[in-house]
Chains A and B, each alone.
Chain A
Amino acid sequence: MSGQLLSANHAAAIGAALAGRANRTGRGFVSGVYPITPSTECMELLCNQEIEKGHVVRVESEHSAMAVCIGGAAGGARTFTTSSSNGLAFMAENVVAAALLRLPVVMVAANRTLGPPWNIWADHGDTLMLRDTGWIQMYCADNQEVLDTVLCAFRLAEDRRILLPALVCQEAFVLSHTMARTHVPTQDEVDRFLPPLDLPGRLVGTARIVGGLTVPQTTEVHRAQHHQAMGRFFEVYREVQDAFEAVFGRRPADPVVPYRADDADVLVVSMGTIGSTVERAVDVAREKGIRLGALRVRTFRPFPAELLAAAFRGRPRIAVIDRNVSLGFGGVLWGEARGLADPGAVVQGYMIGIGGGDVRPEHVLALAEDVASRQAAGAPVLMEAGA
Chain B
Amino acid sequence: MGVTETGRASIPEEIPLPLEVRVHGRGGQGGVTCAKLIATIYAEQGLHVQTFGDYGSERTGAPIRAFARVDTVPIRNHNKVYRPHHLVVLDAALLGDDVLDGAEPGAVVLLNTARGLEPFADRHGRFRFAAVDATAIARRHGIGTSAVVIINTTLAGAYARAMGLPWEAVERAFAVQGLARDLPAAREAWDAVVSRAADEGEAAPVRRAVPAPNVIGIAEHVEDLPNPLRTGSWRTQMPLYLSHAAPCNAGCPAGNDVVGFVQALATGGVEAAARVLFRTQPLPSVCGRVCPAPCMSACNRGAYDGAVHIRGLERWIGDHVDAEGVRPPRAANPRRVAVVGSGPAGLGAAFALASLGHDVEIFEGESCLGGVLRTGIPAYRLPEEVLDRDIGRILALGVTARTGTFLDAAAIADLAATRDAVIVAAGLQRLTGLEAPGVLLPGVLQGIRFLDDVKRGAAPRLAGHVVVAGGGNTAVDCARTALRLGAASVTIAYRRGRKEMPAIGPEVDEAVAEGVKLALHRQPVRVLGEGRVQSLELAEVELGEPDASGRRRPVVTGRTAAIPCDALLLALGQAADLSIVPALPNLFTAGDMATGDGTVTHALGSGRRAAARVLASLDGEPDPVLPRPDLDSLVAPAHVRFSHFHVEPPHAERHRIGAHALGFDEVNRGLDGPSEASRCFSCGACTHCDTCMLYCPEGVIHRVGQGYRVDEAFCKGCGMCVAECPRRAMAMVQEASAR
Binding site for B on A (CB under 8 A): 1, 5, 37-38, 117, 120-121, 141-142, 171, 173-175, 177-181, 273-274, 276-277, 279-280, 358-361, 384, 386-387
Contact = CB atoms under 8 A, between A and B. Distances in A.
28 contacts: A1-B4, A1-B7, A5-B36, A5-B49, A37-B58, A117-B224, A120-B55, A121-B55, A141-B78, A173-B53, A173-B54, A174-B52, A177-B52, A177-B53, A177-B55, A178-B50, A178-B52, A178-B78, A179-B50, A179-B51, A180-B50, A180-B74, A181-B74, A276-B76, A280-B76, A358-B80, A360-B80, A387-B80
Contacts of B77: 276-277, 279-280, 360-361
Interface in B38-68: 39-40, 43, 46, 48-55, 58
B218 interface: yes
A360 B53 contact: no
Contacts of B76: 142, 276-277, 279-280
Contacts of B218: 117
B75 interface: yes
A359 B1 CA distance: 26
B82 interface: yes
Task: With a 10 A CB-CB cut-off, give which of A1, A37, A171, A276 has the most chain B CB atoms.
Answer: A1
Contact of A358 (B58, B79, B224): B79
A173 B55 contact: yes
Task: With a 10 A CB-CB cut-off, give which of B36, B39, B46, B77 has the most chain A CB atoms.
Answer: B77
Given A5-B43, A384-B212, A359 B50 contact: no
B176 interface: yes
Given A175-B78, A181-B48, 12 more contacts: A5-B36, A5-B49, A37-B58, A117-B224, A177-B53, A178-B50, A274-B78, A276-B76, A277-B76, A280-B76, A280-B77, A360-B79
Nearest to B6: A1
Contacts of B46: 1
A142 B73 CA distance: 14
B78 A179 contact: no
A5 B39 contact: yes
Contacts of A387: 54, 80
Contacts of B51: 178-180
Task: With a 10 A CB-CB cut-off, give which of B39, B75, B79, B82 has the most chain A CB atoms.
Answer: B79
B717 to A, nearest CB: 22
Contact of A181 (B49, B52, B79, B212): B49
Contacts of A5: 36, 39-40, 43, 49, 176
A276 B74 CA distance: 11
A54 B75 CA distance: 35
A179 B39 contact: yes
Contacts of A117: 218, 224-225
A175 B54 CA distance: 11
Contacts of B82: 360
A173 B48 contact: no
Contacts of B176: 5
A38 B54 CA distance: 12
A23 B308 CA distance: 62
Contacts of B212: 384, 386
Interface string B209-228: 00010000010000011000
A274 B78 CA distance: 7
Contacts of B4: 1
B65 to A, nearest CB: 10
Contact of B52 (A120, A141, A173, A359): A173
Contacts of A274: 78
A358 B77 CA distance: 11
A6 to B, nearest CB: 11
Contacts of B32: 177
B78 A277 contact: yes
A252 to B, nearest CB: 16
Contacts of B79: 174, 277, 358-361
A180 B49 contact: yes
Contacts of B36: 5, 179
A370 B1 CA distance: 35
Interface in B169-228: 176, 212, 218, 224-225
B491 to A, nearest CB: 60
Nearest to B212: A386
B291 to A, nearest CB: 49
